Amino acid sequence: MTLALAFLIVVITVPLAGGRLDRLADVRVHWLWLAVLAFALQVLIVTVIPEGDTAAHRIAHLGSYALVGACALRNLSELRLLWIVVLGGALNLVAIVANGGVMPASEGALESAGLVAQSGEFANSDVVEGASLAFLGDVFAIPAGWPGANVFSAGDALMLVGAFLVLHALTGSRLAFPTAPHLSSGRDPRWSPHVSWPRSWSRRS
């Protein structure tokens, strides 16, 4: 919910920065069905059937990351700055794998967000006793009473920054960074290989 709300805010910033959302219709994302399947899997194990075999839920949680990762890697060379999103997801995955399929959350962050540790149900983010790599877990929080109050990790924040940059690059907003030709197969019209040096810097004949 928190990431969805944050992404909605990111989308709103596009027209404010002069970007055109209709350009997204021309973007071809390969293997998008994998990301859709991963989202459906997360909803299933967290919201629809949180009870049941904890081990199966944790395997499914890891599997959802694998599906999204495969989709992202397939499009890595075609979508500028997507590597930032991938890096954020990788940080989350490392923390989840290190803690048996659950993203470790700090009690302080949960309390600040007005949440409680789960008991008897699977939670994709929860307090883990003796958590490994706890600093990569959900140690930050949007306080209770704020829209989308929840806990989040450094990886989540990095993914959001990456999504912001990718979206603005695709829509051609004023916040999009130009790409030099040696970094992209397409030439950005705002980039010129010719540099005009000040006359005072030129060598005298």
In angstroms and rounded to an integer, the radius of gyration of the C-alpha atoms of the chain is 21
Domain count within the chain: 1
Q: Hey, which bits of the chain come out as E strands? A: 103-104, 125-126, 140-141, 151-152
SS3 193: coil
pLDDT tens, position by position, 7-29? 888 999 999 999 999 999 999 99
pLDDT tens, position by position, 144-167? 988 888 999 999 999 999 999 999
| Bridge partners (DSSP) listed for residue 126 | 104
Give the model's confidence band at 203: pLDDT under 50 very low, under 70 low, under 90 confident, else very high: very low
Range of the domain at 174: 2-201
Q: What's the predicted TM-score (pTM) here? A: 0.79
CB 140 within 8 A of CB 76: no
Average pLDDT over residues 104-129: 86
- Give the sign of the dihedral formed by CA 171, CA 176, CA 180, CA 182: negative
CB 72 within 8 A of CB 93: no
Token digits for 111? 């309390």
pLDDT tens, position by position, 180-200? 443 344 444 443 333 333 333
Give CA torsion, residues 168, 34, 136, 96, to 10 deg.
170
Token digits for 190? 């705002």
Token digits for 105? 């959350």
Token digits for 87? 């890096």
